Amino acid sequence: MGFIRQQEEKLALRLLTWHYQRINIALPDDAELESKASKLVDDAHRIARERGKNVMTIMKELVEDLKKK
């Protein structure tokens, strides 16, 4: 895994942690949280390829979608 990918996953992990804390939901275990962060980054990259957008913008949009669930 490349350096940029690792940084994206760390950021996604922080965003998910913030999201769970903000809505007062117990954090899942570390493995599950890391899995969700990795999936979030994968989804952001896939959407970026399809739409030609910035990955960071898409990750923020995906977290916003998670807030609605």
**27 contacts: CB under 8 Å, gap ≥ 6:** 17, 20, 21, 33
Residue 40 forms part of a structural domain: yes
DSSP symbols for 37-68: HHHHHHHHHHHHHHH---HHHHHHHHHHHHHH
Residue with tokens 């899995």: 35
Q: Which domain holds residue 36?
A: 30-69
Residue 20 forms part of a structural domain: no
Residue 7 forms part of a structural domain: no
Residue 45 forms part of a structural domain: yes
- Give the model's pLDDT for residue 10: 93
- Give the model's pLDDT for residue 55: 72
The structural domain count of the chain equals 1
Residue 55 forms part of a structural domain: yes
* Rounded Cα–Cα distance for residues 23 and 7 (Å): 25
Q: Tens digits of per-residue pLDDT, 11-68?
A: 899 989 988 998 898 999 999 999 999 998 998 888 877 877 777 777 777 777 777 7
